[in-house]
Structure 1
C-alpha cells in the first residue's frame, strides 16, 4: 500500500510540474505576443512636434487621438521596446499649376525644425520631404541611430551642417532641391562609411574643391545624384585610382554641370557595375564616345546636350540590356549602326545631330520602341508599312526635318496608337494622311510644312478626340464643311 501511495505522490508531483511549465510557457508566449506601447516621453515629443507644425491638410489628425503613438500616421515603433524608430511627416509631390511646377507646402514648421526630435533617440528613419523649413539644425547630427535621412524639397537655406558627418550609420541621404548657401567643403561625407544613396541635386557645389575626393571615400556608394550642382573638374590621373571600390556604383546622375571629358576615365572604372548613367547638359568634347560601349550592364544612357563628335560607336549596338538611349543635341555624323541586339530598347533619341543613311528602313527590328525621336538629321530612305509593322508599342514619334520617302497606302492602318506625332517638314503631301483618323490617343500633332493641299474638314480629324495641340501651318489646305 505504501508503495502505491508513493507512486501516486510521484505522479502527482510530475503532473504539477507539467501544469506549471505549461502555464509558464503560455505566460511567456503572451508576453511575446503583447504589443508594447510607445514611450511616454517620445509621445510627448511628438505632440510638441505637431504643435510646431502648420498642417494645412490635417495629415497629422491622428496624433493625440490615442494613447499609443505607434498607431499615429507616419509613426513606426519597435514592437519589443516601444521606441519610435521611423517618422514620416510628409511626401507631397510637386503639383502642376499654370504650366509651371510649384511646390505645394501643405506642411511647414512655424519656426526652425523642432528640437523635440532630440527626444527620439532611437530614430533610424526620418523622412520629411516637402515639409517647409528654414534650415537643417546642427542637432540632427546627434541622432546617432539614423540610417535614412530624407529632407528634399524643403526650401531649406543656410549651410549644410558638417555635424551630419556624425551620423556614421547613415545609408540613405537626400537633401536635394533646396536653397543652401554655396557649399565650400564636403569633407564630412568621408565620415559616413555605410552610405549607399546620396542625392545633393540642385545644391551649389561650385565652390567645393573636394567633392570628388569625398565621393571617392564612400566604399559602398550605389546611387549618386549630383545634378545641377555647378560641378567642374580637372583631374590628374593618380586621383582616379584611390582606395575606392569600383564595383558598387550602379546609378549616376551628373547632368546639368560643367564637367568635361577629364572625368570619363573615372566613370569607365564602373563598366561592370553601372546600370543608369546620365551626363546630359555638360561640356564633354570627345571624338567618339566608344568607351561607353564597354558598360555591359547599362539599361539607360543619356549623353544629350554635349559636344560629342564622330560616328555613333558600333559598340553601343551590343548593349543588350539597354532600354533607353539619348544621344540628342550633339555633333554626331555618319550612319546609325546596327541596333538589332537592342531588343529591350523602348526609348531612342538621336535628334539634332548630323546623321545620315537609311537606317529607318530596318526600324522594325526594335519592336519594344515606345519613344522614337530622330528629327533634325540628314537621314533618308523609305518609310513603308513593313518598316513600321512591329512597332506596336510606339506612343511618341518625331521624324521631322529629314529626307524620308513615304510608301504608305491610302487604307493603311498603323499597328500603334500614338500620343505625340511630329512630322514637320517631311514632304507628306500632296494629300492629307488619312491614316491619322485611326489614331484615337493623339494629344500633340504637328504636320506643318509638308506641301499638303486640298480640303481639310471635321471628318478628317473626326477621331482625334484627345487633341490638345495642332499645327498644320505652312501647307496649302482649305477648311471645308
Structure 2
C-alpha cells in the first residue's frame, strides 16, 4: 500500500547500529544472561499484535506457546539482560511491513522502553497518542513513513532523554509544539514532508544546543526563521523549505554554523534577491558536502556570486542541486571546473539550452540530471557529456530529436561507458536510430527509460543480444509495432518490463511459452496494456512466481482464467485485466495466495454471483468490477474491506444493497 502514500523526496535516514560506537552513543546491553521478559509487558506486546495486520509474518515469533513464550527472544525486541524489561522495539518495515489501525497506546506499558522504531509501515491515519509522553526512558523514536496523521502531541516534550525524533513523511497537521524546545538532549529532529504542518518555527527550537540534524522541509511553515547567533551551534545538516521570509540577520546566524556540512533550502522564493544570503552561502561552501538550492528563483548572476571565486573553491562538495530555478547554459559552463569531487549534479527545470557538443570537466560525476531543459539542438556523439564515472543520466522532457544521437566509427572506437541508468522519456524521438546509438554506447545499462516518445517500428533484436545487463526497460507510450519478442524471457537480468500503450500484436501464449524465463526468480513487473495482443492466457504464466504487477488491460485477450493461472503469485499486488474478453472462473471457496492493492476487471465476465474470493482482499485501494455481469446483493464484508479504498467502481451491473453511511 505504501506505493500510494509515499511521496517523492530525498531521504536521509540515520540508521543507528546497536553498538557503543553508534552515531548517537547508544549502548544496548548484550544478551549474556537468561532473563525472561516481564509478564505485563509480554501481554502488552500480544495485544499490540492483535491490532495490526501482519501478512508478511514480521511478528510470527510473537506467540504464547511454551516454546516461544519469552518475549525477549521475539523478533524486533531486546530486553535488559538484568531486569528483563523490554528496552528496544524495532519493527521497521520495508519489503515486509505492518498495516492496520495500530494502537500505539498499548506500548505505553513498556515503561523502560528506550528505542522505538515503527517506521516504514502502513498505519493509515493513526494518531500519535498523547500517552507517548509517558515513555520517560525513550531515547530514540522513529515513526517516519508510517502514515500517521493528526497533530504532533505536545506531550513529546516530556521525553527529556530523547536524542532522536523522526516523524518525516507522514500526514501530520497543525503547528510544531513549542514543547519540543525542552528536548535539550535531542540530536536529530526531522519533521519534513508533512504538507499540512503550518505556522511558524517555534523560537524554542533554538534551545536544542545538541542538535546535529534539523529537517523542516516539505511543509506549509511560514513566517521568519527565528534562530539567532549561538542557536544550534553543533548543526551539521539543515533542511528548510517553505514560504519563509528570510532576513539579513538570518544569514548572520547561518554563517556561524561552523559544523554545517549539508544545506538544503527549497522554495525560498526570495533567496535569489537576498545577496547577503548568497554571499553567506558562498563563504560556507568550502565546508559543505551537500548543497541544495531548489526553487529559489536563482539566475546566472546568482550562481556567479556563489561559485565564481577561487577563494571558495571546494574540494569537499559532492552533491549540488540547483533544480527549478532560471539558469541558462552560462551557469552550467561556470560549474565545469568548480569542484573536481562533485559526484551528483541536479539541474532539472531550468532554461539550459545546449546547442553544441560540450566536454565538461566533471571527473568524479556519477549522477547528472538535466531533465526539463531545452536541448533540441544538442548532439550526443560518443563520449559527449559522458564523464568517465557517470552512472546515471536523466534527460527527461528535453525536446531531444533523432538528430541528437549520432553514431560514427571514430566515436564508437573511442567509447567506454560506465552508464547504468539512462532516462530519455518524454522527448521527440521517432526513428530506430536511437536504438543504434544505445547499442553502441550504453551496453552496460541496467535501467533504460524511453517512455512517452514517438518511436516507430518493431522492437529490435539487439535489445536481447547487446543489453545483457538490463534490469528495467520502459518503452511504453510509443508507436512500436510487431510482436512482443520472445527474447525478453531470455534476458536473465531483466526484472521489470513496460511495453504498454504501443501498437504491439501477436499471440500472448508464444510470449510465455517460447522462452526460457531464466529470470523467473527476479522478474516482478510486466505491463503489456493498451496493445493489440490476442489469444488465451496460458497457464505457463505461473512460471513468473515473483510477479508483483501484471497489467494486461485493453488488449484482445479471450478465454477462461482459473485459479491455476494465478495460484503461484504470492507476491502479486497489482492486477489489471480490464477490457478484454476474459472470463474469470474461480470456485467460491478459493483463497488466493496474494493480497492485492489494485484490481481492475472491468468488462470481464465474473458470473452472476458476487466474487467471494474478494473477501480475502482487505488491503485494496482500487477496485474496478464494472460491467462484469454481476446480478447479486452487495455483501456487507465489501464495505469492511473498503476502509483504505480511494476508488471503487461497480457500475453497469445488477447489484442491490445499501451503501453504509
* Partner of residue 64, structure 1: 230
Higher mean displacement: 393-402 or 57-66: 57-66
- Listed one character per residue, the Cα deviations across residues 283-329 of structure 1 (whole Å, up to 9, x for unaligned) are 21122332211311111110101111111111111112222110001
| Conserved? CA contact 2:476–2:499, under 8 Å | yes
- Listed one character per residue, the Cα deviations across residues 161-184 of structure 1 (whole Å, up to 9, x for unaligned) are 12112226154343344332x514
The structure-2 alpha-carbon separation of the partners of 1:273 and 1:159, relative to structure 1 and needing over 3 Å to count, comes to closer
* Partner of residue 15, structure 1: none
Deviation at 1:119, TM superposition (A): 2.9
| Conserved? CA contact 1:187–1:214, under 8 Å | no
Q: Is 1:223 aligned to residue 392 of structure 2?
A: yes
1:260-279 correspondence runs (5 A): 260=430, 261-270=432-441, 272-279=443-450
How far apart, CA to CA, are the structure 2 residues paired with 1:204 and 1:461? 50
Q: Is 1:375 aligned to residue 569 of structure 2?
A: no
* Partner of residue 519, structure 2: 342
Higher mean displacement: 332-341 or 271-280: 332-341
The structure-2 alpha-carbon separation of the partners of 1:105 and 1:138, relative to structure 1 and needing over 3 Å to count, comes to closer
How far apart, CA to CA, are the structure 2 residues paired with 1:432 and 1:240? 66
Deviation at 1:64, TM superposition (A): 3.3
Q: Is 1:145 aligned to residue 319 of structure 2?
A: no
| Conserved? CA contact 1:329–1:351, under 8 Å | yes
* Partner of residue 362, structure 1: 540
How far apart, CA to CA, are the structure 2 residues paired with 1:155 and 1:262? 33
| Conserved? CA contact 2:271–2:296, under 8 Å | yes
Choose between structure 1 and 2 for higher RCO, CA contacts under 8 A separated by at least 6 residues.
1
Q: Classify the secondary structure of the residue corresponding to 1:405.
A: strand
- Listed one character per residue, the Cα deviations across residues 192-229 of structure 1 (whole Å, up to 9, x for unaligned) are 344332111112222x3345567355333221111111
Q: Classify the secondary structure of the residue corresponding to 2:439.
A: helix
1:51-450 correspondence runs (5 A): 56=222, 61=227, 64-65=230-231, 71-74=235-238, 87-90=261-264, 108=271, 110-112=273-275, 114-120=278-284, 122-123=286-287, 125-130=289-294, 132-136=296-300, 137-139=303-305, 140-142=307-309, 143-146=312-315, 147-157=317-327, 160-161=330-331, 162-167=333-338, 169-180=340-351, 182-185=352-355, 187-206=357-376, 208-210=377-379, 212=381, 215-216=384-385, 218-234=387-403, 235-238=405-408, 241-242=411-412, 244-260=414-430, 261-270=432-441, 272-294=443-465, 295-336=467-508, 337-338=511-512, 340-343=517-520, 344-450=522-628
The structure-2 alpha-carbon separation of the partners of 1:253 and 1:460, relative to structure 1 and needing over 3 Å to count, comes to closer
| Conserved? CA contact 2:599–2:624, under 8 Å | yes
| Conserved? CA contact 1:268–1:291, under 8 Å | yes
Deviation at 1:368, TM superposition (A): 1.1
Deviation at 1:345, TM superposition (A): 1.3
How far apart, CA to CA, are the structure 2 residues paired with 1:187 and 1:195? 18
The structure-2 alpha-carbon separation of the partners of 1:84 and 1:291, relative to structure 1 and needing over 3 Å to count, comes to farther
- Listed one character per residue, the Cα deviations across residues 56-76 of structure 1 (whole Å, up to 9, x for unaligned) are 58889486337xx6644449x
How far apart, CA to CA, are the structure 1 residues paired with 2:531 and 2:552? 9
- Listed one character per residue, the Cα deviations across residues 115-167 of structure 1 (whole Å, up to 9, x for unaligned) are 23443473463321546242242242445435524224443445551211222
- Listed one character per residue, the Cα deviations across residues 31-86 of structure 1 (whole Å, up to 9, x for unaligned) are xxxxxxxxxxxxxxxxxxxxxxxx958889486337xx6644449xxxxxxx9797
Q: Classify the secondary structure of the residue corresponding to 1:351.
A: coil
Give ranges in structure 1 of 5+ residues lacking alignment.
1-54, 76-82, 93-103
| Conserved? CA contact 1:62–1:72, under 8 Å | no
The structure-2 alpha-carbon separation of the partners of 1:304 and 1:331, relative to structure 1 and needing over 3 Å to count, comes to same
| Conserved? CA contact 1:186–1:211, under 8 Å | no
How far apart, CA to CA, are the structure 2 residues paired with 1:390 and 1:189? 51
Output the TM-score relative to the length of structure 2.
Answer: 0.56
The structure-2 alpha-carbon separation of the partners of 1:325 and 1:360, relative to structure 1 and needing over 3 Å to count, comes to same
Give the count of matched residue pairs.
406
| Conserved? CA contact 1:457–1:480, under 8 Å | no
How far apart, CA to CA, are the structure 2 residues paired with 1:432 and 1:121? 64
| Conserved? CA contact 1:274–1:298, under 8 Å | yes
Give ranges in structure 2 of 5+ residues lacking alignment.
1-220, 240-256
RMSD: 3.2
How far apart, CA to CA, are the structure 2 residues paired with 1:214 and 1:448? 53
